[in-house]
Structure 1
Amino acid sequence: MKLDVYGKEVEVIRSDSRWCVYYLGAEGKKRIAQDLNIPSDLPESEVMDFLADLCHEWAGPGRVEVIRIR
């Protein structure tokens, strides 16, 4: 799933029973987000809330929520 996390685009993928998070670049490239670790037992329905809590420092004017892009 692709998310806008307080203005930063990330992709979250389930792989080998764990969550992998990638930062998305403007030119279609992505890099592993080593600083964003989602517990492997967290259900998909709770990923957005988890990232909202984890990354709340990124919030600011015009960047007030975590939304699903695709």
Structure 2
Amino acid sequence: MNEFRFNIFGALIAVTAAEGAWQAFYLGVDGKRRPADFVVPGDVVESELCEYLADLYHENATPRNAKAVQLTQGLLSANEGY
């Protein structure tokens, strides 16, 4: 699975490639995931995902959670943790 994981101002988010579109999920600390309540447009390229998510969540930035970083990139197996 082509999945990218991010820490966006403290929110753990996974974005997967699915048939020319992106699917976004919130990641829980217990390893569970739920569908995100936002859409990543299909024309956003892989290298722009972190910037797109940071722009989307910029109001959630705090002095304690002031970074938007990519945690992983590329292919992950279904059993691989974050």
Give your verdict on TM over 0.5: yes
- Determine whether 1:69 maps to 2:66: no
Question: 1:53 maps to which residue?
Answer: 55
* Number of residue equivalences: 69
Q: Note the C-alpha offset of 1:42.
A: 1.1
**Larger-gyration structure (1/2):** 2
Counterpart of 2:27?
Answer: 24
Distance in 2 of aligned mates of 1:39 and 1:9: 19
Q: Give 5+ residue unaligned stretches, structure 1.
A: none
Q: Which runs of 4+ in 1 moved over 2 A?
A: none
Identity of aligned residues (%): 33
How many Å separate the matches in 2 of 1:52 and 1:3?
A: 10
Q: Could you tell me how far apart the structure 2 residues matched to 1:58 and 1:16 are?
A: 30
Q: CA RMSD in A?
A: 0.9
Task: State the TM-score, normalizing by the size of structure 2.
Answer: 0.79
Q: After TM superposition, give the deviation of residue 26 of structure 1 in Å.
A: 1.1
- Where do 5+ consecutive residues of structure 2 fail to align? 73-82
Q: Output the amino acid matched with 1:44.
A: E
Q: How does 1:36-51 map to 2 (within 5 A)?
A: 36-51=38-53
